[in-house]
Structure 1
Amino acid sequence: MEINSTFDIQLESFALKYLAFFAAAFLGLASCNTPEPIEISLVPYPSSLETGTDRFNLSSSTQLIIDDQGDFSEEIAFFQSMMQQAIGQKLSDKSGENIIEIRKTESSENPEAYHLKITANKMTLEAGAAEGLFYGLMTLRQLLPTGMESGEVSNDIALPELEIYDQPQYGWRAMHLDVSRHFFSMDYLRRYVDLLSLYKLNKLHLHLTDDQGWRIEIKKYPELTEQGAWRTYNEQDSICIEKSKEDPRFALEPKHIEMRDGTPYYGGYYTQEELKEFVSYAQTKHVEIVPEIDMPGHMMAAIAIYPELACNGEAAWGDLFSTPLCPVNEEVYTFVENVLTEVMDIFPSKYIHIGADEVEKKTWEESAAAQKFMKENGMQNVNELQSYFVNRVSAFLQENGKEVVVWDDAMAGGIDANLNVMYWRNWVAGVPDKAVQNGNEVILAPGDPFYFSTPNSKLFDIYNKPLLGSKFPKELTYKIKGIQACLWTETIPSEALADAMLFPNVLALAERAWSPESAQDWNSFKTRLINQLPRLDLLGVKYAYNPTTKLIPFMNVDTDLQQIGITLESEISEPTIYFTTDGTQPTTDSNLYEGEFFVKGSAEIVAAVFQDGQPTEPILRKQVDYHKAIGKSVEYHKPWNKSYPAGDAGSMTDGYRGGESYNDGIWQGFTNDLDVTVDMGEKTILNSISATFMQAAGPGVFMPEYLEVAVSNDGETFETILRIDNDIPVSEKEKVVKEFKGSLAGKEARYVKVVAPNVQRGFIFVDELVIN
């Protein structure tokens, strides 16, 4: 093993990054004749930002000039309310010491675009549409003192000289809230909208119905809320109650509990008038409320009241999910269309989400009427029956001028190209590829990392994790409509806990959705995020910001110099990292990490973030091998699973080692046995081999039964020289990574055949065949 010294290059790179960062973060140069620099900590970061050294002094004597053709009245009112908060009064049009001009320009192609220019004597904010002007105001709000959020008035505010041209990367920038599993007050929804708009998110996907509760008043079916909005405590409530003994944020909120004859009933619902008022309020913040009425599954709250809506006349649980609506019953379509007609009357949104996820189809298989209908209509399976339901309901909504959104599960039996597909099942790789090739537009909402309700949701992944596979057709990128994160509330019963799960994750999502990739910088974001926290404090957000000192390694295989570069990332800002390459525990006398470093041969990297001179947990251990098989061809006797191709044929000899997730684009997945032959190109002395596999029993990922290695010089006659049996039981529920490693005893051969039987018939995942 060898470390290449790149200190001089790294120092130069570090210096350039240092200067670039502070040029962007601070304005002007501090001297005895200039004021202290003003920090620029905008989230999301603008498309284009240039800074100067001067100041604009905002005060009550600043003149306001408006040239908006009367189109920005609501936004001007909002601006004046900001001035009232910041300097204690609204601005007038009387001549003053300096000027703020708000004007409408010719509409750009993007109505959300704006231009903000601040000089010593004048601030100009212009946009072609109200949306763009509003987002410009959100940028200005973040430039104003944080104290304004709590009513702290400043008589004179120095604003930095700058010029911003800005517009979003995606048109769909959304957060979601599940109000069915646990109910949230209308006050909380309004505050949610306020916070989304502050960070330029423009849609709130409201999950209004599910098995556990029906939250929207439907006047034609009043029982849906009279009965369906309330429940006695269910299993999810019991889990929350138990957890609340240690963490009060898990307690059910008393305002959503009613006592009936001594029995507590939990729930609530929104009247149509409340929802209409809420929609109007959100419109003033340019947030579109997208309602979801989940169907044909997740409908038990309705079926419990109207059992005739199910094929078997029961509201019950099947093998996996709840009893769905019966797609061959005409009464079902009458019910659905009546409900959706009232939904459309409440929500002017261009979009209606109809779910179509996690449908338990067993009752359809057992229904004589359903089987008869399928036979008469040439349907081969119940997936096609689901598609019939989805397409019929979608047609009704489209006839009424709406676009339809479905979860990606709906694709199983085929769907029309004009539906919007929301991709959430990140373990089913290739879904976005298939959707865009079918003509559908896609909203990226993969559960990992965009389900904020799970502990797997990490700030680094939210900001950085690739959302599309390496095989996604680049020419169809325009069909990616945008991105969204979700908050499912099975075990999130309180507003305080919801805040903690949402923030500051929402800020990482917002920057990723708005800023162009060229403006996204993880290190810069970490610093700007910290500067946003005081504003969230004053806005009453009960966020949970506990950045981990865990290190995240990245590899760069250099086949020209036969070395591997290692880069270490962290969630904390400006960490101090020491590392070793021989497997020993690092100390402050070890290598100080200053950027990418390189190793040749094999190395066991051990690294840690140091605080107060001591290493912090967890300690990173990463095996890195520039081995003899890197770049060698691999013949696959059985194919990999097309959903998990990694690097295709070369993925097991490319030098890259997988991380914690099997869908990171490095682990290669097989539903067959692993059965490959590596051609070393010439007779080679073989000393050792190792292959690393992963087990995650929950989603069906298991270890192979054993690893067997055979060698040959002609590629036809092989001699088996090694077998390593698996010792990880199928019953192991925790994720396990195991290295199958053994000696090849100095054998000389050209071909190395590796077999690993997939006896569980689930998935097996392998990252690299390391041959030395």
Structure 2
Amino acid sequence: MNKVILSVITGLLLLTHSAQSATQTELNRLAESLQVNYQLVDANPVNCPAPHEKQCYLSALTFTSSTDIDPQQWHIYFSQLMPVYKVDSKWFDIEHINGDLHRISAKQAFKDMPANTTFAVQFYSQESQITRSEFLPNFVLAAPGLDSKVIASTKTSVDNETQLELQPYLQPFTTDAQLQVSDDDETPWMGANYLYDSYTKPTFKTAPLGLIPSPIKLEQLSSSRIDLSKGINVVAKKSHYIALMPALERLAKLGVPQSKEGIVINVSQQLTSQLPDAYELTLRHNAITINANNTRGAFYALQSLAALISLDDLTLPELKVTDGARYEYRGMHIDVARNFRSKAFILNTIEQMAAYKLNKLHLHLADDEGWRLQIAGLPELTSVGANRCFDLTEQTCLLPQLGAGINANSGINGYFSRADYIEILQHAKKHFVEVIPSFDMPGHSRAAVVAMEARFNHFMALNKPALAKQYRLTEPEDTTAYSSIQHYKDNTLNVCLDTTYDFIDKILDEVITLHKEAGVPLNTYHIGADETAGAWLQSPSCIALQQKTKIHSFNGYFIERIAKLVADKGLNVAGWSDGLSDVNVNNMPSNVYSYAWATLSDEGHKVAHNHINNGWKVVVTSPDVTYFDFPYQSHPQERGNHWASRAIDSKKVFSFMPDNLPAHAQIWRSVKHQTYVADDSQSARTADAYGIQGHLWSELLRSDQQAEYMMYPRLFALAERAWHKAEWELDYKNEGAIYSHKTQQFTLAMQQQKEQDWQHFAALVGFKELAKLEQAGRFYRIPTVAAKKTDSGIDAFVPYPNIAVEYQDKLGNWHRYDSHNKPLQAVKVRAKSINNERAGRALKLTN
């Protein structure tokens, strides 16, 4: 039996005697009435206790009951992203169980908890945890023999005006001590005043002529207007017409339907161009012509036509667009493993990706917290591995993690059935999006490990040991103690067992079969291969294998063996760059995709360049700009992780120069908002990157709506950089160079050109694209307002034009802001959605 589970069960048994008087009614009542309050005291306390004295954070929990209770009768389980290692309390102990799961227990001498009396526990945790979204909800009240319940005061709610999540259990964050994680952390609190001093006002008063992503060339042919209100009449071969239908359907939703009375669109595929997906789109008052180098190019030409349209004006000038893609690979990574995303979310995301010419959906289907694809013959992967609930034996579900609570039917749980996955594949194919599946291995594999242990126990109970051991992923005799990056003690496949490779071979064959049934052949498989933390050291199988073959790296051995397995099935091999750095390059297949994710301020360019020089196709995935699970701004109320960047707004994504990674040292800062140096003098690359990919990891995203908030409008800027190379981007120096804030290679003229391009892009977002997102039902982020008190009154703006701003007076009433009649005083400022039905996050004004 798992050592962690045994420890938990033992702890519960110790309380059995004292808990015998507890009833289900009492537990239910206490779960409804107990008040829990969480406070981040200090993200950078003066004296961190050993062994984490270099960095820790100090928090406090308080408990108040409306009735007298015996604290010995109860346990409280809660998710804490960073493990608690030192507790300061006369009343409570806290034990780290596994992953982020912790247990709060009353000390043995704490026998009586009088009504309306508050009891506290302070504790130190490893590293840092500083955005409010990192303090997870749904504390679970449990007692032996009773059904556990979520404590009502730890549930989240939704703000009626913003529709954003509220955390009533979490005390306000008000000081820099709750924002900065070390003495050298210079992260700013991005309030209204900071934004005012840092951001630039929009310059466009009306929608400019243009589209997102930008084309290579757009020529206005005349001032005559083309009226599209009667629709369009596409003339093309039947097979081509069918392939263009998703784009035509989008145009119809925007008010330009397919109609015999509409303006004729002639489609041909005679264009010769070396650029991927190239096309020419010519709009004349009597006809529109599309000439492309393939069907995708024609599809994207229609998407460009949709991009040129404003919803309030279906007329366009006569013009010609010449275009083609910058990169072959233009991707978006969606993590459905940590917290599940619905099929509808995936289908909607595919449509938005296609609208902005993104063409690769990297679908992260398995991780520690969930296995999300039905696999024929292995029902435990989804019956156990797709759900988190409160079963500490883990025979029916996984341990609760990431604030999951106890409801196995909640939205964070679930999986794609075979039919669901086939539907996703076919929908993606229609939109010219390739699905790249990934089941992260050998680390990040706890869902698979637990599911296969449940399978083992099932067949052993049936006295079928051969079947039980067929796909077992761990070795009971392995006594290795390790902790993964997410603090799991048992999340890694044993890479020295043949059954591990039998399991992966089974998974691959079943996924290949699903793709064949969908009529969408599998081309590329992403094996994961990242963040494997010190496993296998005491594994008898690994010790024997090492003695036999002298393996240089067990992780490298695993990747090389799986890469061959994948390649032998006719597939391209893909993996994260850190794992691929462990391999012997000579042992790898010819077609390898490396996803380079080292942070730029930590010499991330070297990893990307080394892998390019290996002859691999490198997809740029730098987390300090492409990870959309990080906050838009460094403010506690902005959702997201914080380890690689404290602020990734759309302008930062827009400013990315993926062809010249080290050059960002001249214009950006590190995660602690410090300047840094990027030395590329010894690691110059020999070829270009293959593409770029955005990422939506889901640890802190418990709903589709939260996921959309993080993705939009940043996806626009990602598409811009993936499709179009701007004139202001700094050319890469193949001889190598050193960059810092002191170098002047990114000239003033280039900075001015970038700002002009940004203003044009921002105007297209504000006047056109946000309305289209709204029409499609997508929950985009409404920008926060930059504001400051000036001599002429409150000056306020948002980065995108055409968005209404409001200010709050001292009585709490909101008023529409008018820059021509500025208020003299204001307490808060906020923006509104395009349709004025939803408010953005409000910011306080300071003097």
Q: Does 1:267 align with 2:494?
A: no
Q: 1:181–1:210: 8 Å Cα contact kept in structure 2?
A: yes
Q: Residue 365 of structure 1: SS of its match in structure 2? A: coil
Instruction: Quote how far apart the aligned CAs of 1:46 are.
Output: 0.8
Deviation string 1:380-410 (CA, Å, 9 cap, x unpaired) is 4xxx221111111111111111111111111
The residue number in structure 2 matching 1:369 is: 541
1:550 and 1:524 map into 2 onto residues whose CA distance is: 22
Amino acid of the structure 1 residue aligned with 2:509: T
2:823 and 2:613 map into 1 onto residues whose CA distance is: 54
Q: Could you say if the C-alpha distance between residues 313 and 74 of structure 1 is closer, same or farther in structure 2, counting changes exceeding 3 Å?
A: farther
Amino acid of the structure 2 residue aligned with 1:406: G
Instruction: Quote how far apart the aligned CAs of 1:200 are.
Output: 0.9
Instruction: Quote how far apart the aligned CAs of 1:51 are.
Output: 1.4
Q: Larger relative contact order (C-alpha < 8 A, sep ≥ 6)?
A: 2
Deviation string 1:550-580 (CA, Å, 9 cap, x unpaired) is 99xxxxxxxxxxxxxxxxxx982599xxxxx
**Pick from 206, 216, 219: which aligns with 2:373?**
216
Instruction: Quote how far apart the aligned CAs of 1:547 are.
Output: 4.7
Q: Does 1:534 align with 2:767?
A: no
The residue number in structure 2 matching 1:498 is: 707
Instruction: Quote how far apart the aligned CAs of 1:546 are.
Output: 1.6
Deviation string 1:5-37 (CA, Å, 9 cap, x unpaired) is xxxxxxxxxxxxxxxx99xx99xxxxxxxxxx9
Q: Does 1:408 align with 2:408?
A: no
Q: Does 1:515 align with 2:724?
A: yes
Instruction: Quote how far apart the aligned CAs of 1:109 are.
Output: 3.2
Q: Does 1:391 align with 2:548?
A: no
Q: Residue 690 of structure 2: SS of its match in structure 1? A: strand
The residue number in structure 2 matching 1:103 is: 268
Instruction: Quote how far apart the aligned CAs of 1:548 are.
Output: 6.1
Instruction: Quote how far apart the aligned CAs of 1:227 are.
Output: 1.3
The residue number in structure 2 matching 1:450 is: 626
The residue number in structure 1 matching 2:513 is: 345
The residue number in structure 2 matching 1:140 is: 305
- How many residues matched? 502
* Structure (1 or 2) with the larger CA radius of gyration: 1
Q: Could you say if the C-alpha distance between residues 613 and 215 of structure 1 is closer, same or farther in structure 2, counting changes exceeding 3 Å?
A: same
Deviation string 1:263-322 (CA, Å, 9 cap, x unpaired) is x89621111122112101111111111100111111111111324412446899832344
Deviation string 1:631-656 (CA, Å, 9 cap, x unpaired) is xxxxxxxxxxxxxxxxxxxxxxxxxx
2:209 and 2:479 map into 1 onto residues whose CA distance is: 56
Q: 2:495–2:558: 8 Å Cα contact kept in structure 1?
A: yes
Q: Residue 332 of structure 2: SS of its match in structure 1? A: strand
Give matches, 1:529-568, under 5 Å: 529-531=765-767, 532-547=769-784, 549=786
1:439 and 1:280 map into 2 onto residues whose CA distance is: 32
Q: Residue 176 of structure 1: SS of its match in structure 2? A: strand
Q: Could you say if the C-alpha distance between residues 134 and 191 of structure 1 is closer, same or farther in structure 2, counting changes exceeding 3 Å?
A: same
Instruction: Quote how far apart the aligned CAs of 1:453 are.
Output: 0.8
Deviation string 1:400-449 (CA, Å, 9 cap, x unpaired) is 11111111111342343642110112135311121112222211111111
1:493 and 1:309 map into 2 onto residues whose CA distance is: 29
Return the structure number with greater strand share: 1
Q: Could you say if the C-alpha distance between residues 437 and 192 of structure 1 is closer, same or farther in structure 2, counting changes exceeding 3 Å?
A: same
The residue number in structure 1 matching 2:75 is: none
Q: Does 1:228 align with 2:385?
A: yes
Deviation string 1:701-736 (CA, Å, 9 cap, x unpaired) is xxxxxxxxxxxxxxxxxxxxxxxxxxxxxxxxxxxx
Which sits farther off after the overlay, 479-488 or 319-328?
319-328
1:339 and 1:401 map into 2 onto residues whose CA distance is: 15
Q: 1:181–1:213: 8 Å Cα contact kept in structure 2?
A: yes
Report the TM-score, using the length of structure 2 for normalisation. Answer: 0.54
Q: 2:530–2:577: 8 Å Cα contact kept in structure 1?
A: yes
Q: 1:432–1:472: 8 Å Cα contact kept in structure 2?
A: no
Instruction: Quote how far apart the aligned CAs of 1:517 are.
Output: 2.0
**Pick from 214, 218, 233: which aligns with 1:45?**
214
For structure 1, the 5+ residue unaligned runs are: 1-20, 27-36, 148-153, 242-251, 552-569, 576-608, 619-772
Q: Residue 373 of structure 2: SS of its match in structure 1? A: coil
2:425 and 2:230 map into 1 onto residues whose CA distance is: 37
For structure 2, the 5+ residue unaligned runs are: 1-201, 391-397, 454-471, 516-520, 632-645, 664-679, 729-753, 789-796, 803-818, 829-847
1:200 and 1:614 map into 2 onto residues whose CA distance is: 45
Q: 1:311–1:325: 8 Å Cα contact kept in structure 2?
A: no
1:325 and 1:435 map into 2 onto residues whose CA distance is: 26
1:442 and 1:488 map into 2 onto residues whose CA distance is: 20
Q: Could you say if the C-alpha distance between residues 80 and 482 of structure 1 is closer, same or farther in structure 2, counting changes exceeding 3 Å?
A: closer
Amino acid of the structure 1 residue aligned with 2:725: P
**Pick from 116, 134, 151: which aligns with 2:281?**
116
The residue number in structure 2 matching 1:469 is: 662
**Pick from 468, 476, 484: which aligns with 1:320?**
484
Q: 1:197–1:287: 8 Å Cα contact kept in structure 2?
A: yes
Q: Could you say if the C-alpha distance between residues 71 and 357 of structure 1 is closer, same or farther in structure 2, counting changes exceeding 3 Å?
A: same
Instruction: Quote how far apart the aligned CAs of 1:330 are.
Output: 0.9
Q: Could you say if the C-alpha distance between residues 490 and 62 of structure 1 is closer, same or farther in structure 2, counting changes exceeding 3 Å?
A: closer
Instruction: Quote how far apart the aligned CAs of 1:39 are.
Output: 4.0
2:399 and 2:582 map into 1 onto residues whose CA distance is: 33
Deviation string 1:587-615 (CA, Å, 9 cap, x unpaired) is xxxxxxxxxxxxxxxxxxxxxx9995999
Amino acid of the structure 1 residue aligned with 2:296: E
Q: Could you say if the C-alpha distance between residues 297 and 615 of structure 1 is closer, same or farther in structure 2, counting changes exceeding 3 Å?
A: farther
Instruction: Quote how far apart the aligned CAs of 1:466 are.
Output: 4.4
Q: Does 1:281 align with 2:427?
A: yes
Q: Does 1:299 align with 2:445?
A: yes
2:711 and 2:492 map into 1 onto residues whose CA distance is: 31
**Pick from 502, 515, 527: which aligns with 1:334?**
502
Q: 1:352–1:403: 8 Å Cα contact kept in structure 2?
A: yes
Amino acid of the structure 2 residue aligned with 1:377: T
Q: 2:783–2:799: 8 Å Cα contact kept in structure 1?
A: no
Q: Could you say if the C-alpha distance between residues 80 and 265 of structure 1 is closer, same or farther in structure 2, counting changes exceeding 3 Å?
A: closer
The residue number in structure 2 matching 1:192 is: 349
1:97 and 1:320 map into 2 onto residues whose CA distance is: 60
